[in-house]
């Protein structure tokens, strides 16, 4: 989308509740208003920054629980679970922003992840994470959208040696190409664009094609990686094996 051509409808859409970005849900509203702080005391940029860190660090990153359906992707569902993957955490950040009147959209890209767990490599059979999700936020009055990636919580970064992604409301917050040890980390290989809601049919189609051994579209919340899968445990094992 050309930011210079933003219309009143564009901004309205970036503030609207959707079945997935359920920004009017009472729990989402309470979370957003509490973490953002009073609007009379803080700038839009400051409130967006506070919401970013709340979602990044209070919601644990867990790709094993990834689901591509409305019920599991809802912001309120992620908030209740206390954990999520890149798309669901991006949805929660967008919903929290919209709850307090900050326009937000969802951005997607395909990324090559050079650092993952053995279980993920076995099941995914690829280093490409298709439809990786992030949030874009309108933080000022000159139609400048800033990208924010709240996926990896700070504890995970410290355990895995990732460089944590900070967000200052002015510069895009995107994955680092290398980790603390200089190993390759993330590489953006394809931009999918920005949307006001999750393009669910497109995600389902791509995941079904690219990850045939995994089930991402299910009625329950069991993991496509297996009921016994524990991401935190596998991260610990991965780090121990490398040490």
* Helix 26-36 vs helix 86-99: crossing angle, to nearest 10: 80
* Residue 69 per-residue DSSP state: S
135 in a structural domain: yes
Q: Can you say how many angstroms the Cα of residue 54 is from the centroid of all Cα atoms in its chain?
A: 12
Q: What's the pLDDT at 15? A: 97
228 in a structural domain: no
The domain that contains 157 carries what CATH number? 3.10.620.30
97 in a structural domain: yes
Nearest to 133 by CA among 213, 181, 212, 78: 78
Tokens of 167: 């967000």
**114-152: per-residue pLDDT in tens?**
667 888 888 888 889 999 999 999 987 667 899 999 998
Q: What's the pLDDT at 218? A: 47
229 in a structural domain: no
Which residues, 6 or more positions from 179, have their beta carbon under 8 angstroms from its beta carbon?
Answer: 115, 160, 161, 162, 163, 185
238 in a structural domain: no
Q: What's the pLDDT at 220? A: 45
234 in a structural domain: no
Helix, strand, coil percent values for the chain (each to nearest 5) = 40, 15, 40
Q: What's the pLDDT at 5? A: 67
- Sign of the dihedral defined by the CA atoms of residues 135, 138, 144, 146, in that order: negative
Total structural domains in the chain? 1
In terms of residue numbers, what domain contains 42? 3-223
Q: What's the pLDDT at 221? A: 42
Regions of the chain short of the pLDDT cut 70: 1-5, 114-115, 141-142, 177-179, 181, 183-184, 215-224, 226-228, 241-243
Contact 193, 108 (CB under 8 A): yes
Strand partners, 129: 111
CA angle 100, 176, 168 (to 5 degrees): 35
44 in a structural domain: yes
Q: What's the pLDDT at 126? A: 86
Q: How many CB atoms lie within 10 A of CB 191?
A: 10
239 in a structural domain: no
């Amino acid at each position: 989308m050309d930011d210079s051509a933003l219309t009143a409808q564009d901004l309205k859409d970036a503030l609207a509740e959707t079945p997935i970005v359920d920004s009017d849900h009472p729990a989402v509203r309470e979370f957003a208003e509490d973490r953002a702080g009073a609007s009379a005391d803080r700038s839009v940029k400051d409130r967006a920054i506070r919401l970013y860190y709340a979602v990044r660090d209070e919601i644990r990153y867990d790709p094993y629980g990834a689901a591509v359906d409305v019920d599991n992707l809802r912001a309120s569902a992620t908030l209740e679970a206390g954990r999520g993957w890149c798309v669901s955490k991006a949805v929660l950040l967008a919903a929290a922003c919209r709850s307090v009147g900050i326009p937000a959209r969802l951005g997607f890209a395909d990324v090559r992840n050079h650092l993952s767990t053995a279980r993920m490599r076995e099941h995914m059979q690829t280093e490409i994470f298709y439809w990786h999700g992030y949030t874009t936020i309108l933080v000022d009055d000159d139609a400048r959208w800033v990208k924010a990636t709240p996926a990896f919580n700070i504890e995970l970064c410290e355990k895995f040696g990732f460089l944590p992604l900070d967000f200052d409301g002015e510069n895009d917050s995107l994955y680092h190409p290398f980790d603390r040890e200089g190993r390759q980390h993330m590489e953006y290989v394809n931009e999918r664009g920005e949307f006001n809601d999750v393009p669910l049919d497109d995600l389902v189609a791509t995941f079904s094609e690219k990850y045939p051994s995994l089930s991402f579209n299910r009625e329950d919340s069991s993991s496509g990686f297996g009921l016994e899968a524990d991401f935190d445990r596998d991260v610990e094992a991965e780090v121990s094996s490398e040490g």
